[in-house]
Structure 1
């Protein structure tokens, strides 16, 4: 195997329809468990007691556990393209207006404990997530559903409030996961780290001090779906940081490591001559951005937010912190997604202190403006601190801002951010599905993931519904571009960069090219063990 394998999107797209049809859970090679390292942290706290309940979980780490265990009607294929049936045998719109969507379950579908999976279970699961309406905004993915109807044991019909061409993608996300009513009460979340479903694996958690330190995925003998499972057991080990994870890979304690490696680790693995570890680089849709609490006195004036947008030098930020592992981003919609527009560059051009100074002067804003930029210390990797130090340097160097930075652990950061305690803060976004809608609606629709006070009636009431009516996503470009232009003008968020993603694995591990898809979905079923060298 080559030391560095680049998976090209076009190649993946060509393979996906063929590979998705393989189906079944045969093909595992037995042998020892494949051990995967991650720096994702999983904590059950008073503020977030149910990190693995499909009705609550809404971050990439938790979803990557659920995707292995809780089956969905649809699933995103290996590469890019439209979702394909998973727990369903077939699904599709049954009207011309994209407002009625029907699915037929696979015959003989069972939960891991042997109980049959029925249409009533699907309805129960979807209705439960909608009614619990978690405060992190995940239920918004199901917001276009009006009612769920069952017809017999295997037929489910979704009646939508309005046209939604992205609905098949939403049925591929864990919030639409099928759960057993015996395990998941209707009116309350399932606290802790227990997970049960009908997916390719069962799950056992090893927990210490309310934190998951290792998850063990064992092949589900009752699994029946479209995914081919190439192993019998995978262990997911959570490390405190990337250095500890890298050391474990070097010792042979783990077979593969994924997010989040440091930029330095990626550089070292790219240039190393030792061929016992292979680095796989693949396209990704991860983005990073600054968000503004538009009710906070420090940034309530649009001119302050615009001045930040006018000063930040993305190219310099990326070059100094991430090198070739990221690219400057001038919209929330990544450059590789249909509908992308460089709206921020079109609005502000190259960074300019003079233009920023003029914006603030016209608005009567006294300078320097004091701001605190908050970031999380343990959720996106150690480079986050360097990133915020560079942002501080750029803003303070203008003479127009007096910026301090403050790093906070994720289990404190996220609840505080949702309560509006930070005026400016940094977050990342790993898309639920690869469509422009999912880089806009989650931030600006009702019940958005930021709990943001910012609202724009044109985006919410006209442009989002208008975009969703277009089954041909190219035809949605006008609405999507208009949304991006509004965001650039009003700056409730400031996109910074778009990242690549990497997997490093010992050379006897197969399937690494598909270990992650572009939405950073971990696909453990793809991994196997073969001959090294």
Structure 2
């Protein structure tokens, strides 16, 4: 979660979330108030992996969270800038003890759902209990699994008792996993399948046509919170390819573009300074890992994984496939976050085939080692296809691996990976919240989001609990560093690169600099239409 973004849109779109806005010039008035059209390659559909894409108890992917972030409320929400969550449905929240295991929130007055029902503390209690009761295997329940008890006290107060101290709990309450649903209309023990959803966020769903791939949102006039919608109407259009999305952008059929931007398109926009488009580069925390099945008879051997890590050339991979829109990553925790350390570089240094041969020889592993790499099929020439072709070439040219790349059906990719059907597979990750914990615990704790059999007792029983007892996150950096070093030695996952975020807009679209939060989720309420220069 953080988010399991194994499906093709996340992988095809570089994990570099981007906003690009473009439209025909306006004279300053006639287009003001018009619907802002946002195009994306992110896919929203009812599938085996996602039977209820708009149900907070089920959805744990970037596509659905983009919609839920704008249509549901949470007690807290990510800030415009910085990392500390700010209030949304809550008027105030805070720990009520020194152990960081009891947390209380007081709700705002006058909260209502889009169906007219009042939102009270009982709905918060219901929503959290429902998430944990359903415990959908591909859902986000793991984010709040530390909640031992949640209780509504009166109409506007809710109290959480945690099983163990957790200083990151406010961050988790700011994710769509903690979205508040109507206790009078949502079933307590099953999902709301299909495309239904009732929330209390700044927008409400007007209409969704899955065949036409269009979603219309209208501003919620009864919204009470910290992020009122600036534009009354926003339409999301879902495109099947980056090429068709970019064509719609160039023709002016859409105003804003999110996900699906390629590195070549970024370069074009940067070079064309006279196109009334302002391109803004931001640090990104979207990352790509390779995940190993540590119970497999081949890659289950630590020496094989270590040799793999010694062969892969991240700089070449990023240079050949992603140009300057991504950076090599040498840790499971991305750069820019407190606690990051280049543990893989410290362990292995630059790519070294001779060292990899020694590693295998020492453990009596016969070469070439036959392995298969898997990624969700996204079309010929996609970034993912090119990336895995480069990886395959690097491994095979080393002479110690016999690697085969296998593109897989995107609709079943997540399930197959979760069930351990792949030796090595690509996994993209966007943070639920900006803290190193969210790049360590989701993959290494019990019942992790990868369903990985890998287990390290020191990380699970000592380091993760220790970091969560530190309200001052700087005091957790030593423990975070130790966890990263253990992962570099064991290599259950291999970090490859960290993407950048780009925000660009035609000069009649305002608020674009605030339209992505630290988790790369769209904040559509920030967008508005102004005057073209």
The TM-score, its normalising length taken from structure 2, stands at 0.92
CA distance, structure 2, for counterparts of residue 378 and residue 182 of structure 1: 41
5 Å-filtered alignment, 1:337-348, equals 337-348=337-348
Whether the 8 Å contact between 2:124 and 2:181 is mirrored in structure 1 is yes
Shift of 1:273: 4.0
Question: Residues 460-499 of structure 1, C-alpha deviation per residue, up to 9 Å, x if partnerless?
Answer: 1111111100000000011111110110000000000111
Residue 387 (structure 1) aligned with residue 392 (structure 2): no
Alignment match, 1:142 = 144
**2:376 equivalent in structure 1:** 376
* Residues 109/206 of structure 1: CA separation in 2 closer, same or farther (3 Å cut): closer
Is contact 1:283–1:518 with CA below 8 Å preserved after alignment? Answer: no
Aligned to 1:122: 124
CA distance in structure 1 between the aligned counterparts of 2:199 and 2:160, rounded to whole angstroms: 21
Aligned to 1:331: 331
Residue in 2 that maps onto 1:57 = 59
2:103 equivalent among 90, 101, 104: 101
Which is bigger in relative contact order (C-alpha 8 A, separation at least 6)?
2
Q: Distance in 2 between matches of 1:55 and 1:30?
A: 37
Instruction: Give matches, 1:372-521, under 5 Å.
Output: 372-378=372-378, 382-521=382-521
Q: Which moved more, 1:179-188 or 1:461-470?
A: 179-188
8 Å contact from structure 1 (residues 34, 235) kept in 2: yes
Which residue of 2 is the match for residue 351 of structure 1?
A: 351
1:312–1:394: 8 Å Cα contact kept in structure 2? yes
1:232-264 per-residue CA deviation (whole Å, 9 max, x = no partner) reads 011111111111111001111100102121111
Aligned-partner Cα distance in 1 for 2:455–2:185: 38
Change (3 A) 1:84 1:41: same
Q: Distance in 2 between matches of 1:486 and 1:175?
A: 29
Determine the C-alpha separation between the residues in 2 that align with 1:435 and 1:65: 23
Equivalent in the alignment of 2:74: 72
Alpha-carbon distance between aligned partners in 2 of 1:183 and 1:253, rounded to the nearest angstrom: 37
Distance (Å, rounded) in 1 between the aligned partners of 2:372 and 2:532: 50
- Equivalent residue for 1:362? 362
Alignment-derived partner of residue 9 in structure 1? none
1:279 positional shift = 2.5
Q: CA deviation at 1:71?
A: 0.3
CA distance in 2: counterparts of 1:229 and 1:72, whole angstroms:
16
2: CA distance, partners of 1:195 / 1:366: 55
> Where do 5+ consecutive residues of structure 1 fail to align?
1-28
Unaligned 5+ segments in structure 2 are: 1-30
- In structure 2, distance between residues paired with 1:503 and 1:345: 30
Deviation (angstroms), 1:227: 0.8
User: Which residue of the partner structure matches residue 23 of structure 1?
Assistant: none
| CA distance in structure 2 between the partners assigned to 1:468 and 1:229 by the alignment | 35
CA distance in 1, matches of 2:526, 2:400: 51
Distance in 2 between residues matched to 1:472 and 1:113, nearest whole Å:
41
Partner of 2:202: 200
Aligned residue pairs total 503
Q: Is the 8 A contact 1:374 1:406 kept in 2?
A: yes
C-alpha distance in 1 between matches for 2:490 and 2:209 = 44
> In structure 2, how many angstroms separate the alpha carbons of the residues matched to 1:39 and 1:345?
34
- Structure 1 residue runs of 4+, over 4 Å off? none
For 1:368 and 1:335, the matched residues in 2 are separated by 34
Q: Tell me what 2:135 maps to.
A: 133
How far apart, CA to CA, are the structure 2 residues paired with 1:47 and 1:469? 34
Mean alpha-carbon deviation: is it higher for 161-170 or for 399-408? Answer: 399-408
Could you state the TM-score of these two structures normalised by the residue count of structure 1?
A: 0.92
Residue aligned with 1:495, SS: strand
Cα offsets for 1:179-220 (capped at 9, x unmatched):
0023321110111111210100001443346xx812111101
User: 1:527 — aligned with what?
Assistant: 527
Q: How far apart, CA to CA, are the structure 1 residues paired with 2:49 and 2:230?
A: 37
Q: Which secondary structure does the structure 2 equivalent of 1:324 belong to?
A: coil
Using the TM superposition, give the Cα deviation of residue 114 of structure 1 relative to its aligned residue in structure 2, in angstroms.
Answer: 1.5
Deviation at 1:83, TM superposition (A): 0.2
SS at 1:190's partner residue?
Answer: coil
Kept after mapping to 1: 8 A contact 2:49/2:138: no
Structure 1 residues 492-527: Cα deviation after superposition (integer angstroms, max 9, x where no partner) = 000001110123433211111111123101110000
- State the Cα distance separating 1:30 from its structure 2 match: 6.5
Cα distance in 2 for partners of 1:128, 1:341 equals: 38
CA contact (8 A) 1:292 1:299 kept: yes
2:213 is paired with a residue whose SS is: strand
- Counterpart of 2:174 in structure 1 is 172
Question: Hey, what does 1:245 align to over in structure 2?
Answer: 245
1:45 matched to 2:56 = no
Query: What are the residue-to-residue correspondences of 1:317-328 with 2, within 5 Å?
Result: 317-328=317-328
Q: Distance in 2 between matches of 1:46 and 1:339?
A: 37
The aligned residue for residue 16 of structure 1 is none
User: How far apart in 1 are the matches of 2:428 and 2:193?
Assistant: 25
* Cα distance in 2, alignment partners of residues 59 and 378 from structure 1: 17
Q: Which residue of 2 aligns with 1:288?
A: 288
TM-superposed CA distance for 1:137, in Å, is 5.2
